[in-house]
Amino acid sequence: MIEPDLSGRSVLLVGTGRSRLPVLVRLLTAGAEVTVTGCADDLVAVHQDLSLLAAQNGLTPSTEWALLANRLLDLTYLEPFAAVTAVPKAALVVCVPRDDEEETFWADQCRRLGVLFRAERPLPAGVALVGGGPGARDLLTLGAVAELRGADVVFADRLGPAAVLAELAPGALVVDVGKDPGHHRVPQERIEELLVAFGQSGYRVARLKGGDPYVFGRGGEERRTLLENVVPVTVRPGISSAISVPAAADIPVTCRQVSTSFTVLSGHQVPEDSVLEGLVKVGGTLVVLMGVGTLPPLLAGLRRAGLPADMPAAVVENGYASDQRVFTGTAANLVELAAVHKVRSPAVFVIGEVVRLRDELLEVATAARIRLDPEPPLAPEVHGGSGVRSTSTRGTSADTGDAEAPGTSADSSPEVVAATVPDSVDLSAFETPEMHTELSGFTIGITASRRATDQANAFLRRGAQVITAPTLAITPTEGDTELLTETALVIENPPDLLLVTTGHGLNGWFEAAEAAGMGEDLRSALTGTTILVRGAKARGAVRAQGFSDAGISADDSTTSLVDVALAHGVGGKRVAIQQHGVVDHAQMARLVAAGADLVTIRPYRWVKPEDPKAVSTLMASVIRHHVDVLTFTSAPAAEALLTTAKEEGLYELLLEAMRTEVTCVAVGPVTAAPLVAAGIEPLMPERHRLGSMIRVVVDHLNDHAIDQAQTRCGAVALRGVELLIGGERLTLPPHLADLLRVLVQADGDVVTRASLRRALPAGPSDHAIDMAISRLRKIIAPHNLVVTVPKRGFKLASV
């Protein structure tokens, strides 16, 4: 349905106008070799224009978006007159036509030459309010897909199926206006202002929402505001969670003879008793959305209104996600059930006789020996945040164990739990701040290449912004002749000792050997070999391959592994060492000096990153202090960052930032070594594991990076770029957050323009400071937090 397999195929993109940009990026994302007619300038102009529009509205586009400009410049462009001659060489011609005539022209050319042709009609300028369904990709409508494919700009919500954006709208400028429950991250008026601003700009904007835009989605208000501002606006309905999420738990919202009506309630405000009495009298199914926070008073009210205590009730959390959970009980114990299992938003509550049908269905299925497993998803799950929530809780290794959401089941199959709960429960579970705000406002830079996604997901799930820039890439050397030669040497002349440095490397080696048909021979060659391992992971891999080791290094370093080897004695022996990434020449030299006949095996190598621009972007963000924490999980990556900085003349600036404002965190001492040598003092977890490192980051930021002050507007807190004021969470543009931080740290004292200039990394002019203060005031209005002190400067409105 989405895109035919275009990888490696040559596609000619013809046509005119702005809408070529999203089409082009989609084709590139699908792996096509694209040639574009016209010049680069007009596409780059569209990109720049949108970037400018974003900047003017205080939005910071993603790194991918920023890097798109370079991708555009790197493409092959053809003079329009030459385009016709390029048709026969193309596997497919895609046309974004200005009018019928243009489309017919290209369609005829292609027909004549027997080349596949596709027209992509541009969507008109304006806004589409798009229902994204409850989070599963296969519950998007065709209309929604068309809108995303044609969108220049997407405004995405927390519950929308945001993960599909990378696939369906890779060339769109994506703005995340998602809200966290209880805290409107971007206030509704601001969202509407943005929709109007972008809607009036001549672009196509998709406002992607969870479920249906008109079911508790504020779609009505947005449509009205847009029409008042003369912006064309369409609505693309979506599948509402009110009906589909119960269905995901085998609960039909109506059923003949059981329930002939259903009412969808918002838990946002508990209705008055008289209304609840009416609802109970109707006797149909009650479906409650947004009810996690207000379940206790709602159920108390319903019980007062006469709802029987034994009325079946259920809660479905994270419907359609791999960590979907379902709990069933009764009106009497639903509150406890939700509290005990720490049910979190998003969740749908269902109260009514229909809930019984779920159990009946389960019974029937059991009798018929049919497993009521969830439908296999047609496509990966697409839930949550910026579309980056982990796709499964299954198979996470011990490393990321504590990076997982509390309360999620270890198994990814939906959990079914009978309604047995202890007598006393702690209802404060409802009040505990949700994990996904633990890091909100903060930005984490990630230098890892391996498992960078796991790491990024762990931070994103906690609400952080993430910049990933692998400073090195690992290339597997499967099919690599050098590795196969090394393997052949081992088979021909089996080693007495094998030193295994990484589990990953050992597995890679065996896989490569197997693929080359040398697996069996390699295994039998190693049967008499004494194996020594560096660390628990290497030991695990050796055992998993059916071997056992004769010794393990004292710590995780190659040095201590070589110590063990020397203790075993290597003189006159044939010693094979499996290398990891960089070669530790000093340790090789120790083995040779002790008389070892050395063979090295390099199953994978570190190479320069595929995307050096991402590294430059990361360095620039660190230097501007727009990154709060920078993480390191391998020594070569740490080394590579410093080397790249030297090459780009940024070493001093980068070091200065990493020694002061930007906290560096390393997974262990080996990784930290190159940083320490450069005079940086990274934080380190006690257990050298990814999960523990993530905990260190969370604790550090929460303990040391939140600036607070008591003001006339109440308590305010600044966490990275996020301002907590009057129960609201506002995300500020980074330079305004920096400015405000200086004022908050001064705690009510006057800060002069001169000291603001000195304190800010960009060293702004007085005029720029005044402009920034006025923008800041606008964003945080109606709070009157920043006071001008005539002739002196600014201060916080003190108590």
Q: Measured from the CB atom, is 163 or 718 closer to ligand SAH? A: 163
Give yes or no for a contact between 350 and 251, defined as CB atoms under 8 angstroms apart: yes
Q: How far apart are CA 233 and CA 227, in angstroms?
A: 7
Residue whose structure tokens are 């990394």: 761
DSSP per-residue letters across 303-338: HHTT--TT-EEEEEESTTSTT-EEEEEETTTHHHHH
Give yes or no for a contact between 117 and 225, defined as CB atoms under 8 angstroms apart: no
Q: Measured from the CB atom, is 290 or 629 closer to ligand SAH? A: 290
Q: Which two tokens stand for residue 580?
A: 């990891």
Q: Which two tokens stand for residue 622?
A: 């660190």
Q: Which two tokens stand for residue 412?
A: 């990814």
Give the distance from CA 647 to its chain's centroid. 30
Q: Measured from the CB atom, is 292 or 448 closer to ligand SAH? A: 292
Q: Measured from the CB atom, is 173 or 348 closer to ligand SAH? A: 348
Helix axes 635-647, 669-677, angle to 10 degrees: 20
Q: How far apart are CA 540 and CA 526, in angstroms?
A: 17
Q: Measured from the CB atom, is 106 or 320 closer to ligand SAH? A: 320
Residue 794: CB minimum distance to ligand SAH, A: 39
Residue 316: CB minimum distance to ligand SAH, A: 6
Question: What b/e sequence results for 205-214 when a residue is b if at least 16 CB atoms lie within 10 Å of its CB, and e otherwise?
Answer: bbbbbbbbbb
Q: How far apart are CA 445 and CA 665, in angstroms?
A: 10
Q: Measured from the CB atom, is 157 or 556 closer to ligand SAH? A: 157
Burial of 52 (0-12, 13-18, 19+ CB in 10 A): exposed
Residue 62: CB minimum distance to ligand SAH, A: 24
CA angle (566 as vertex; 564, 567 as ends), nearest 5: 65
Q: Measured from the CB atom, is 346 or 535 closer to ligand SAH? A: 346
Amino acid identity, residue 312?
P
Residue 291: CB minimum distance to ligand SAH, A: 6
- Residue 429 is classified by DSSP as G
Q: How far apart are CA 737 and CA 772, in angstroms?
A: 10
Q: How far apart are CA 275 and CA 113, in angstroms?
A: 69
Q: Measured from the CB atom, is 209 or 688 closer to ligand SAH? A: 209
Q: Which two tokens stand for residue 19?
A: 């809408």
Q: Measured from the CB atom, is 417 or 797 closer to ligand SAH? A: 417
Phi, psi of 584 (to 5 degrees): -90, 90
Q: Which two tokens stand for residue 539?
A: 């030991």
Beta strands in 512-614 (DSSP E): 530-533, 551-552, 574-578, 597-601, 604-607
Q: Measured from the CB atom, is 312 or 346 closer to ligand SAH? A: 346
Q: How far apart are CA 703 and CA 698, in angstroms?
A: 8
Using CB under 6 A, list all residues that contact ligand SAH.
134-135, 159, 209-212, 215-217, 240-242, 245, 289-290, 316, 318-320, 345-348
Give yes or no for a contact between 125 and 203, defined as CB atoms under 8 angstroms apart: yes
Taking the chain, what is the end-to-end CA distance rounded to the nearest angstrom? 60
Closest CA to 458 of 474, 430, 438, 478: 438
Q: Measured from the CB atom, is 210 or 603 closer to ligand SAH? A: 210
Residue 415: CB minimum distance to ligand SAH, A: 14
Catalytic site positions: 157, 179, 290
Q: How far apart are CA 621 and CA 589, in angstroms?
A: 40
Q: How far apart are CA 382 and CA 138, in angstroms?
A: 10
Q: How far apart are CA 539 and CA 458, in angstroms?
A: 26
Q: How far apart are CA 778 and CA 763, in angstroms?
A: 22
Residue 159: CB minimum distance to ligand SAH, A: 5
Closest CA to 134 of 318, 266, 285, 262: 318
Residue whose structure tokens are 């969740």: 347
Q: Which two tokens stand for residue 716?
A: 């305010």
Q: Measured from the CB atom, is 192 or 556 closer to ligand SAH? A: 192
Give the distance from CA 262 to its chain's centroid. 36
Within 10 A of 74 (CB to CB), how many other CB atoms are there? 8
Give yes or no for a contact between 315 and 291, defined as CB atoms under 8 angstroms apart: no
